[in-house]
Amino acid sequence: MRIVIIGGGFAGINLANNLAKDNNFKVTLVDKNNYNFFPPLIYQVATAYLEPSSISYPFRKLFRKKGNIQFRMGEFLSVSPSENKVILHNGELEYDKLVFATGAETNYFGMENVKNNAIPMKTLNDAIEMRNKLLQRMEKAAICKNSKERRKYLTIVVAGGGPTGVEVSGMFAEMRNGILRKEYPELSTTVSNIYLVDGGPSLLGPMSEKSQKDTYDALTKLGVIVKLNTRVTDYVDDVVHFSNGETITTKNLIWAAGVYSRVFEGIPQESYGRGRRMIVNEHNKLQGMDNIYAIGDTCIMHTDPNFPEGHPQLAQTAIQQGEQLAKNFKRMIKGEALKPFSYNDKGSMAIIGKNKAVVDIPKPKLHFKGFIAWLMWLFIHLMSLIGYRNRIATAWNWMIAYFSQDQSLRMIIRPNKKKGAIN
């Protein structure tokens, strides 16, 4: 059976790995990048606490000892279901089963000015670009003589009160209160505010009320100004506009406010549901298709009785759907009945800062905060990285940062886009 997987995130990687070394399957994984990366830690790359290589791993190295899996670097363009063929920017592939595992992309809710001027937090490229921009703006602030203009470089607005927004706000606050005051003495008397803005009534909406309150209290103690029930409506000329009529002047709007899925040529419009997610049945088969499937953030399933409105767009959902679909493909080969997907909620967590985190575990119903939750967050994320080298490098960087309250990765490295480009 020829299986083509579009996307090498949590869902695609787990599907491919669970079909590895089974000669009943010839698997081709397609991705526009030549590496897998770990999204929950991209904010640490963006804030210069980790190198990009610490949270990424090359596909070809990952699959080199798995003879039935091939990697194809390419940009997906369209699918022709009648021909069982996908069209990439650099060729075509035929399939018996096609699986979309493309994740989600940043949703700007139709605000073009925000899209053009805000700093997104979704991909590794976004994280590197954010690190460079913020470091450059710190340098500009250091030589700026106009106090009002200097504050624009130093003020940060983070839109989105989910885990990414909370974690990056906490990291910025700790950097402002520690590293930056030591390394930029010329800015020590300048007011620099960090705002975390969310349209809902609480931070970390899907988590427990205890986690929401603990997170709010910890962030405000760090000096983060939290604005709830407040949405960004525009971002023009370095001014962020909000739904309540307020404005904040800043050059740094970090966008972590929402995601939606991609729409693909060749997939009928009626196959998409809320958030442009592909509608799938209990076996992750795409609605109206015979041999096309979708897993992870890019799909929505209404057949799980515990999640009738669809599963949360989390890493665990993607991992479990990838593993379950692999098992069902093996059942197809054996002529056995397929098993429906049922999500096992293992809990949620978010880190706020040094020795500060929140963890919710649904079964049994437990809540952790503070140092214990922080250790749990570190362990889970460390073990989720691919490869021992990445785990060791990340653990080493974390240990150095913890004991020294510093790290040495704040280099501005910007490749020359005009030279050496590969067409």
Tell me if 310 sits within 8 A of 297, measured CB to CB.
no
* Exposed/middle/buried for residue 166 (C-beta within 10 Å: 0-12, 13-18, 19+): buried
Cis amide prior to 362 (ω within 30 degrees): no
- Residue 253 tokens read as 């709007």
Among candidates 356, 353, 354, which has minimal Cα distance to 369?
356
Please count the residues of the chain. Answer: 423
Q: List for the chain the helix, strand, coil content (%; round to 5).
A: 40, 25, 40
- Residue 366 tokens read as 């437990």
Place of tokens 């020590």: 188
Query: What is the C-alpha to C-alpha distance for residues 126 and 119, in angstroms, rounded to an integer?
Result: 7
Among candidates 129, 250, 135, 127, which has minimal Cα distance to 183?
135
Query: What is the C-alpha to C-alpha distance for residues 231 and 243, in angstroms, rounded to an integer?
Result: 5
The yes-or-no answer on residue 265 being catalytic is no
Tell me if 208 sits within 8 A of 216, measured CB to CB.
no
Query: What is the C-alpha to C-alpha distance for residues 42 and 415, in angstroms, rounded to an integer?
Result: 19
- Provide the angle, in degrees to the nearest 10, between the axes of the packed helices 209-222 and 163-177: 20
Rg (CA), the chain: 22
Residues 6+ apart with CB under 8 A from 291: 84, 95, 96, 97, 98
Side chain identity at 19, as an amino acid letter? L
Kind and range of the H or E run holding 411: none
Determine the Cα angle at 263 with ends 162 and 296, to 5°. Answer: 50
Strand, coil or helix: what is 417? Answer: coil
Longest dimension (CA), the chain: 74
Q: Of the residues 83, 92, 112, 167, which is catalytic? A: 167
Other beta carbons less than 10 A from residue 290's beta carbon: 9
* Exposed/middle/buried for residue 21 (C-beta within 10 Å: 0-12, 13-18, 19+): exposed
Sign of CA dihedral 246, 249, 255, 260: positive
Q: 119: which strand partners?
A: 254
Residues marked active site are found at 167
